[in-house]
Amino acid sequence: MNITVIGTGYVGLVTGVSLSEIGHHVTCIDIDAHKIDEMRKGISPIFEPGLEELMRKNTADGRLNFETSYENGLAQADIIFIAVGTPQKSDGHANLEHITDAAKRIARHVKRDTIVVTKSTVPVGTNDLIDGLITEHLAEPVSISVASNPEFLREGSAIYDTFHGDRIVIGTADQKTAKTLEELFRPFQIPIYQTDVRSAEMIKYASNAFLATKISFINEISNICEKVGADIEAVAYGMGQDKRIGSQFLKAGIGYGGSCFPKDTNALVQIAGNVEHDFELLKSVIKVNNNQQAMLVDKALNRLGGVMGKTIALLGLSFKPNTDDMREAPSIVIADRLAALDAHIIAYDPIAASHAKHVLPQAVEYKETIEEAVKGSDAVMILTDWANIKQFPLAAYQNLMKTPLIFDGRNCYTLDEAAEAGVEYYSVGRKAVVPSGAIQ
Ligand SMILES: NC(=O)c1ccc[n+]([C@@H]2O[C@H](COP(=O)([O-])OP(=O)(O)OC[C@H]3O[C@@H](n4cnc5c(N)ncnc54)[C@H](O)[C@@H]3O)[C@@H](O)[C@H]2O)c1
């Protein structure tokens, strides 16, 4: 089939590349001419394991190309995917301006009967809005069927998830559209669930809200563990063995970030509010997360009395490992707070540093290696559990720091390892490890 994907971000580019990999002819459209230029040269605008290789391979095989022109990009399309961003507005609602812009441009340039599939995460009712906009602005007398197909990939393993997802959700009342989309997705060999459009839209928000709830829940339990002398790692393991609970998303840390959970939880609170439902549970989840993001700084302040003039090394800046995405990363909250307290901030990230420079305070100093970042610092904060950060030997902190003081927001080490290395170690939901002789 001939597929056109509109928007080449984490979702659109991964979708386009994956559909070309299973044999379809795919054109990816973006309004960002620089991105399109880069992709034409074989350079992926985002870091995502395996993506650039597959992108190059399918471009070379003639199944994948990139366009800024809707006219060229839509000429042959049997199916059009909308994968543009739906960022958060200041009042928490999803900003739909990219969606409405894409819908109007589709209407002006579509030349044949086509299925338009919304992959972007959009509030319930948005597919009806898209349908209405396209119908209103159509330039040719063609028939358009609009369907919802929410995306569940995780950044950092997006290609893997596309080929190994748990389910593909298709929201449409039109059986012919459903059949065509099932045929399109069949090679992925992932269970397909067809439902109505509004339920499909809601499945995405409900799924993200539920996962965010799990994270805030385990973070709250971790805060209680610290006070009652329990160990969150043991507690989470014991809970996770219960199949009704499941072991995933029970990792205590410094809160969720990224381009989805923060905006989607806020958007769902607004969606509920618009129908006069006060989503109290989700509001608490968001509040708990905001507190959790600041928790490491509180611990440092407790331990050090203040951080003015102290050198603090931040290890890991992206919101999670294996991505360069800095959107809503806890490192932003932490660096802002440390900067406001006049700390001297050194930062290291294996991939995301160039993006971080645009969102972290100006005064942050960047280093190329963990060693350079840690050397001579007064305290280290581990913010993202990239493999090389997790595997960095604790003994090296001993050699590189005046007094090795570590605040680990990702529980990268066991308490035994910390005690053995003789470092002073504060993690999440566990006892502090304080070597004898350390000043407290
Ligand atoms: N990032 C994720 O992990 C993820 C996962 C599931 C769902 N989603 C959802 O998918 C959607 C896209 O997310 P993303 O992270 O890929 O966004 P992104 O910001 O990385 O990319 C969006 C792209 O769309 C382009 N764009 C904007 N308006 C356009 C237009 N009118 N025509 C063509 N291109 C246009 C932008 O230039 C940009 O390249 C969002 O609704 C998001 O909530 C994201």
The dihedral built from the CA positions of residue 24, 28, 34 and 37, taken in this order, carries a sign that is: positive
- pLDDT of 216 strictly over 80: yes
162 lines ligand 1 (CB under 6 A): no
pLDDT tens digits for range 92-134: 999 999 999 999 999 999 999 999 999 999 999 999 999 999 9
How remote is the CA of residue 394 from the centroid of ligand 1, in Å? Answer: 39
- pLDDT of 437 strictly over 90: no
Amino acid letter, 257: G
User: Hey, what are 127's tokens?
Assistant: 């597919």
What topology is assigned to 204-287 in CATH? N-(1-d-carboxylethyl)-l-norvaline Dehydrogenase; domain 2 (1.10.1040)
DSSP output for 75-115: TT-SEEEE-----B-TTSSBP-HHHHHHHHHHHHH--S-EE
User: Hey, what are 350's tokens?
Assistant: 């294996």
32 lines ligand 1 (CB under 6 A): yes
Give bridge partners of residue 2 from the DSSP assignment: 25
Residues in contact with 244: Cβ distance below 8 Å, sequence separation at least 6, in sequence order? none
Q: Which CATH number is 288-426's, of 3.40.640.10, 3.40.50.720, 3.40.50.2300, 3.40.50.150?
A: 3.40.50.720
Give bridge partners of residue 148 from the DSSP assignment: 118, 171
Please give the annotated binding residues for NAD(+), written as ranges.
30, 35, 86, 121, 155, 263, 327
pLDDT at residue 383, as a whole number: 98
pLDDT at residue 436, as a whole number: 84
How remote is the CA of residue 49 from the centroid of ligand 1, in Å? Answer: 18
| pLDDT range class, residue 402, cuts 50, 70, 90 | confident
| pLDDT range class, residue 438, cuts 50, 70, 90 | low
pTM for the model: 0.96
How remote is the CA of residue 70 from the centroid of ligand 1, in Å? Answer: 17
- pLDDT of 16 strictly over 60: yes
| pLDDT range class, residue 381, cuts 50, 70, 90 | very high
pLDDT tens digits for range 302-337: 999 999 999 999 999 999 999 999 999 999 999 999
121 lines ligand 1 (CB under 6 A): yes
| pLDDT range class, residue 439, cuts 50, 70, 90 | low
Would you kindly state where each structural domain of the chain is located, as residue ranges?
2-195, 204-287, 288-426
Active-site annotation holds for 260:
yes
pLDDT at residue 440, as a whole number: 56
What topology is assigned to 2-195 in CATH? Rossmann fold (3.40.50)
Distance CA 152, CA 21 (A): 19
Asked whether the domain spanning 288-426 has the same topology as the one spanning 204-287, the reply is: no
Amino acid letter, 85: G
Averaged pLDDT of the chain: 97
pLDDT tens digits for range 276-292: 999 999 999 999 999 99
Distance CA 436, CA 430 (A): 18
Distance CA 57, CA 17 (A): 9
Distance CA 361, CA 340 (A): 9
